[in-house]
Amino acid sequence: MGTNEEFNFWNRKKERQDIHSEINCFLYISTPPSYGKTYLLKQLMLERQERGWKHVFMFSLLELPITAVSSKDDFLDYISLQLGFENHVILAGYIMEKTKQVLILIDDIHVLAGSNNNQLKQVFLESMRFFMQRAPRASAFQLILAGRYIDSHSFRIKVPLNQFKKIAVNPFEKDAVYQIIEDYLFPRKIFFKEMLPTYEAWSVDIQTLSCGHPLAIINLVQHLVEKSSKTFLDSDYIAKNQEVLFDNYVKPCLNQMLVELSPFLQSTLEKLSVFNAFDAAVVDYLKTLGFIENNISGNVLQILSELGTISCKRPDGRGYYSDAILTSLLRKNLKLHNIALYQSINESAIEFFRGLVKDNAAVTDDFYLQQYAYHALQSKDVMTRISALQEWFDYFRKDSPDFNMEDFRNYLSVSEHNECLNNLINEEKMSLDFILDAIPTSRP
């Protein structure tokens, strides 16, 4: 996290637990810029050393000495020497023993995707194969790669990332934001117990405004600390100044995430961000309506996927895509600066998914109904909200006549059943009661 590494390591407990408990030898971490991947690697290295691992080495592909990339053997010998072994042959024998503990962390591998250094690409590829051929699955050996928006499509050089397990790095939640506020205020002796309700409100509003982006959160907290040391700020300060705070402290992080996308792709992704999930049919639909320019050849979603900006949401063949990090920031930006366009696209999304619900009555799950409800609940029209929720409710009553409102509440309370509604609850501060109240109580 750049200049903020002196502060506590916030809110990466789940990711660290997942990695420490993972039996797979080969992992990779993919994040947008300024999302804390390097600091996560440093923390993992420290924790392994504290657990007694003696052979641990972390390095960046951006900082390799020239002599290390002359050949595969030179690259592997460089790593081996840093781990405490004379050469890679000795290292290979060591890691092939299942109980030996060796951790290698390689950062900034995204440079391979756009690099013209074919020598580095080839050396890296051959070295990965060397480790993959020798490390048994149950070995204590672990190799972790990290980079900005990396996946198997990014590399066009056949780096075998399909054999690496991806570790998701999630947005910060409000509890982490509160911890950051405390960590900034305490050293400056400006943390007051009577202000706890205000700090709680700030935590919620900062998390919502930043969409959980770590650097954006720190930017906002630093601003609050500086400003509150000079003047009193009430609990509504962030809510009252959303647009200017977003532009000054969050949007630079968004721009950094978009820097490698063309203006057309940026505009396209901004329009798609209105959707909780989208596929090629959504793209064509928005082109037909004139929201997206029809001036690119090829599959725009495939291009975005290969660039690592979106990931497949529905591996069952429906091909829906999303991105919890980038699209949420784009959506926030659109709502703050062009709410009319956002609402217009959302109304079109309601029609789109209403049609899919009608055309796919025999579908065995409620995916389309979830998307329909997500967009309908943002409509100003009461009947639109009621209609979508009634259809979702009736979907369950069709096969289970005894299904009642309490059953529906319990279903919606389970996060994996209503990811799209969770987004609304978090972003729009809707409550589950508000959602359920849209269904008339007079229904049987």
In tens digits, the chain (444 residues) has pLDDT values of 334 444 455 657 778 887 887 777 888 888 877 788 888 899 899 988 988 998 999 999 989 998 998 999 999 999 999 999 999 999 999 988 877 789 999 998 888 876 567 888 889 989 998 998 888 765 788 999 998 766 544 444 445 556 788 787 878 888 888 888 888 877 666 666 777 888 888 999 999 999 989 889 999 999 988 888 778 888 889 989 999 999 999 999 999 888 777 888 888 889 999 998 888 888 889 989 999 887 665 577 777 766 666 766 654 445 576 666 788 899 999 999 999 999 999 999 999 999 988 887 666 678 888 889 889 989 988 889 888 888 888 888 888 888 888 888 888 877 666 666 766 766 666 676 766 666 654 443
**pTM score > 0.75 for this model?**
yes
Compute CA 246 distance to the chain's CA centroid, rounded to the nearest angstrom: 19
Q: Are 53 and 168 in contact (CB under 8 A)?
A: no
